Amino acid sequence: MNCAILGYGTVGTGVYKLLTDKEKDIFQKSGSNIRVKWVYDRSFRRIKDYPLPSEVCTKDPDVIFNDPDVHCVIELIGGIEPARTFIFNAIRKGKHVVTANKAVLSASGPEIWKEAESNGVLLGYEASVGGGVPVIKTVKESLVGNRISTIVGIMNGTANYILSRMTKERKDYHEILKDAQRLGYAEADPTFDVEGYDTAHKLAILSMLTFGQKFTQDDIYTEGITRIAPLDIDFAKELGYRVKLLAIGRLNDDGVMLRVHPTMIPDTHLLAQVDGAFNAFYFVGDEIGKMLLYGMGAGQGPTASAVVSDLVDIARLKGHCSMKPLQTKVLSKASLKKVPVASLNSRYYFRFSAVDRPGVLAKISGILGEYGISIQSVVQKGRKEKGAVPIVMLTHEACEENVCQALKKIDSLDVTMEKTVLIRIEDLSALE
């Protein structure tokens, strides 16, 4: 399948890079060969970040629309114009379109969907909401059997980043904003993010898909985070709440209410745990109950990931590849080594059941030492349980094989009463 990328900014370079670097991967997984034939940009200022062969570059978008060999146009310009015109041009020329443009879709989604339908082309827009989080696909495909009553989301990474830092650091909005701008988490003009407009765009798109009728910005009550003071966050904390900029879409017997505003939510709720630049989407459906999707809602990698998933879907549906959706490839011959758990390196929690006698701890720790297992801390609570005393130990990182051997030896001592309980400790950040 031949594609053309419109807009070679952060996301454009990300998509080009992903398609180029992972050509083989994507072919293996999906049977599709996705080739970038053209890249359009007005200035190509970002070409130094990721160079392009000169023959794919064009500053004339009509070259792309008039090329019968282009099957799919990827619109990554953003904003309303000229993006909207480009999308319509591509559709009318019979090209499939993938876009990350929430502004255009929230303003003109239904018109674009209709145009695509009457021209027999497909339109992918997974990247328009939630970055790499598959929220569009989930609503459109996975939840098709549900009546969804509630959407609640943290849909803007910048606003959530600022509120999270205000909560942790007890600093003023303006101070954190400045720092966020310095670190690249906020734009020079942050209005769009902090006043809730970006969130409202995304809520409009999700509401159209969920509730099945047109909604625009005007249907959404929108309020930003700029008036929230450290004082408010402190009070919220004291009362067991967190302050989040939420998008809320709610269907009940009266109708649909859509709103975006700072909200105090119980600090025990999963949404309250969504910190930093992360997004989260919470749905309530009559079949599935509660569901939450969480991930990076913006950025080069996540957005490119969503764009590429749309491209592969189109390639599969339009026969540009050897594998249809819902097919699972017969797996290639094993090439990855299967690593046994014996070679795991982990931290461990041990609970020994030992007799309450002097020297027991020395015996146990001696054996651990023999096997190179170093102890981080020991707790001996002294609570007697049928003659045995629990001794709890945390280890530094050790090898599972050594641990097994050491415990075998310890469990055979006459001072231990029961088989030692072992629980592996995962500092989950090590798995990232």
Selected from 81, 169, 172, 286, the binder of a second copy by CB under 8 A is 286
How far apart (Å, rounded) are the C-alpha atoms in residues 199 and 130?
A: 10
How far apart (Å, rounded) are the C-alpha atoms in residues 358 and 335?
A: 53
Q: Could you say which residues in the range 99-128 bind a second copy, by CB under 8 A? A: 109-110, 113-114, 116-117, 122-124, 126
How far apart (Å, rounded) are the C-alpha atoms in residues 273 and 271?
A: 5
Question: Strand pairing of 255-266 and 220-222?
Answer: parallel
Q: Which residue, 43 or 332, is less far from a second copy as judged by CB?
A: 332
121 labelled as ligand-binding? no
Give the C-alpha distances (Å, rounded to integers) separating 53 from 24, 71, 201: 19, 20, 36
Largest CA distance in the chain: 88
For the stretch 215-219, contacts whose Cβ atoms lie closer than 8 Å and that sit 24 or more positions apart, written own/partner, are: 215/256, 215/258, 216/106, 216/107, 217/106, 217/107, 219/258
Selected from 104, 313, 320, 360, the binder of a second copy by CB under 8 A is 313
Q: Which residue, 179 or 418, is less far from a second copy as judged by CB?
A: 418
224 labelled as ligand-binding? no
Minimum CB separation of residue 365 from a second copy in Å reads: 18
Q: Could you say which residues in the range 225-264 bind a second copy, by CB under 8 A? A: 227-229, 231-232, 235-236, 239, 241, 243, 246, 248, 250-251, 254-259, 261-264
Residue 376, φ and ψ in degrees, nearest 5: -90, -45
How far apart (Å, rounded) are the C-alpha atoms in residues 393 and 351?
A: 7
Q: Could you say which residues in the range 350-369 bind a second copy, by CB under 8 A? A: 351
198-293-266 Cα angle (round to 5): 80
Selected from 79, 325, 366, 372, the binder of a second copy by CB under 8 A is 325
Q: Could you say which residues in the range 163-222 bind a second copy, by CB under 8 A? A: 208-209, 211-215, 219, 221
| Amino acid residing at 384 | K
Active site residue 24: no
415 binds a second copy (CB under 8 A): no
Selected from 57, 292, 404, 417, the binder of a second copy by CB under 8 A is 292
Q: Where are the beta strands (DSSP E) in 161-276?
A: 220-222, 241-252, 255-266
337 binds a second copy (CB under 8 A): yes
3-state secondary structure of 219: helix
Q: Could you say which residues in the range 139-158 bind a second copy, by CB under 8 A? A: 140-147, 149-150, 152
273 binds a second copy (CB under 8 A): yes
Nearest to 263 by CA among 250, 109, 294: 250
Q: Which residue, 90 or 228, is less far from a second copy as judged by CB?
A: 228
Minimum CB separation of residue 63 from a second copy in Å reads: 26
Of 37, 95, 202, 244, the active-site residue reads 202
12 labelled as ligand-binding? yes
Q: Could you say which residues in the range 38-97 bind a second copy, by CB under 8 A? A: none
Active site residues: 202
List residues forming the annotated binding site: 6-13, 102, 187
